[in-house]
Amino acid sequence: MIKLTITKIGEPKDVQTRYGKKQKSWIMAKEYGENFLSYWVNGYSKDWGVGKEVEVERVDERDYQGKKYYDVIIPRLDREANSARITQLLSELNTRTGLINNKIDRIIDHLSGKDKFGHTSDGNPVPFNDTDNI
């Protein structure tokens, strides 16, 4: 991983790829002088701005028609952190689904005459006073 300090940034341009439209842009970084560094705009790079120090995986240099080009390689997402977060969200979703299913079962029991509402834990009806029947 290397750090780059952005000195200039270009406007993103739409590029048609085999995966659909993506956006590509360029930066100039203090560490690379007046060279343009191209990169793909994504969730990691969308908030980049002049003066901001960013961490990238690497900068690849390539030659094309006698000119040097530089491509910023953005780090991949931390798969372990994402996996832990997904596991946590699935656990929460499972708990919520269980609670909803329990409520649905209680409603079905009520509508089918197996009413558990208004009964004590031993199955006896909860005593009501005369004003409850109004």
pLDDT at res. 106: 82
- What tokens appear for 122 in the block? 């031993």
| Residue of 51, 52, 71 whose CA lies nearest to 61 | 71
CB neighbour class for 40 (10 Å; exposed up to 12, middle 13-18, buried from 19): middle
The stretch 22-26 carries a mean pLDDT of 95
pLDDT in tens, 49-83: 999 999 999 999 999 999 999 999 988 765 666 77
The rounded percent of the chain whose pLDDT value lies above 70 is 80
The amino acid present at 54, given as its one-letter code, is: V
The amino acid present at 70, given as its one-letter code, is: Y
pLDDT at res. 128: 59
Mean pLDDT of the chain: 85
Alpha-carbon distance 103 to 35, whole Å? 63
- Lowest-confidence region among 31-40, 87-96, 114-123: 114-123
The 3-state DSSP class for residue 87 equals: helix
15 forms beta bridges with: 22
23 forms beta bridges with: 14, 41
pLDDT at res. 85: 78
- Answer yes or no: are the C-beta atoms of 57 and 1 closer than 8 Å: yes
Q: Note the helical H segments in 5-130.
A: 79-111
pLDDT at res. 86: 84
